């Protein structure tokens, strides 16, 4: 079953702290596939951290970087791609993602998300909003967009990374 995946990208989407980066690293190892983190890709290209890009250029500029990155990544066909949490917000991005591979939505309870992101200084959208009610409402406002993009949904709450990867491979 895993063999069939080799000619398709796997794209991970979901809220900040849903586990996209750690799961993609683990999946990449298990499947011997290249892993690409969109945020890191953008940071390298721009020569700045994500938070600096937001400060210097603003969110809209960053969203354009995301869309451009998706276009660049069209040439990939054998990678695990961890998308930034906001990538599915633009319908055109969703189209590009769906064309580019299998889209997996990682979810988690807001309480679990808070636990994972609370010490992060690299998430400009959560600056000054590190609480469950803000996270819940931002998650809720994105739910439909994530859902529209997803081929498969995996809840990561309370699960180990390897467990999540195994569940994912079983369901693919
Ligand atoms: C964002 C998520 C972040 C990063 C940026 C915006 C979002 O990525 O791209 O801070 O809008 O949800 P992670 O989901 O990897 O934290």
- Please name the residue that has the structure tokens 């063999």: 3
Q: Are 156 and 107 in contact (CB under 8 A)?
A: yes
63 marked as part of a ligand binding site: yes
Q: What is the dihedral of CA 17, 154, 21, 29, to 10 degrees?
A: 150
Residue 12 alpha carbon to ligand 1 centre in Å: 12
ipTM: 0.98
Q: Are 10 and 78 in contact (CB under 8 A)?
A: no
Domain with residue 20: its CATH number is 3.40.50.300
Per residue in 140-170, pLDDT (tens digit) is 999 999 999 999 999 999 999 999 999 999 9
In this prediction, what percent of the chain has a pLDDT beyond 70?
97
pLDDT at residue number 87: 98
Q: Which residue, 27, 2, 4, is CA-closest to 154?
A: 27
Residue 19 structural domain = 2-171
Q: Are 104 and 11 in contact (CB under 8 A)?
A: yes
Q: Are 42 and 65 in contact (CB under 8 A)?
A: yes
Q: Is 31 in the pocket of ligand 1 (CB under 6 A)?
A: no
The number of domains in the chain is 1
pLDDT at residue number 33: 94
Which residue numbers in the chain have pLDDT < 70?
A: 1-6
Q: Is 84 in the pocket of ligand 1 (CB under 6 A)?
A: yes
Helix, strand, coil abundance in the chain, percent, nearest 5 = 60, 15, 25
Q: Are 106 and 18 in contact (CB under 8 A)?
A: yes
pTM across the whole model? 0.95
In a mutational test of the pocket of ligand 1, which residue from 85, 117, 124 has the highest number of ligand atoms less than 8 Å from its CB?
85
Per residue in 51-64, pLDDT (tens digit) is 999 999 999 999 99
Cα 141 to Cα 88, 89, 138, 162: the distances in Å are 12, 10, 5, 29
């Amino acid at each position: 079953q895993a063999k069939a995946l080799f000619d398709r990208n796997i794209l991970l989407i979901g809220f900040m702290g849903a586990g996209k980066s750690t799961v993609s690293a683990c999946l990449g190892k298990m499947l011997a596939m290249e892993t690409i983190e969109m945020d890191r890709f953008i940071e390298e290209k721009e020569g700045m951290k994500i938070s600096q890009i937001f400060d210097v250029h603003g969110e809209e500029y960053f969203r354009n970087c995301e869309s451009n990155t998706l276009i660049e990544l069209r040439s990939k066909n054998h990678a695990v791609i961890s998308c930034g949490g906001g990538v599915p917000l633009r319908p055109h991005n969703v189209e590009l993602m769906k064309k580019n591979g299998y889209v997996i939505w990682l979810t988690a309870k807001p309480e679990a998300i808070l636990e994972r992101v609370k010490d992060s200084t690299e998430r400009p959208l959560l600056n000054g909003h590190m609480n469950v009610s803000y996270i819940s409402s931002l998650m809720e406002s994105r739910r439909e967009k994530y859902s529209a993009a997803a081929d498969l949904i995996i809840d990561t709450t309370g699960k180990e990374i390897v467990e999540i990867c195994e569940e994912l491979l079983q369901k693919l």
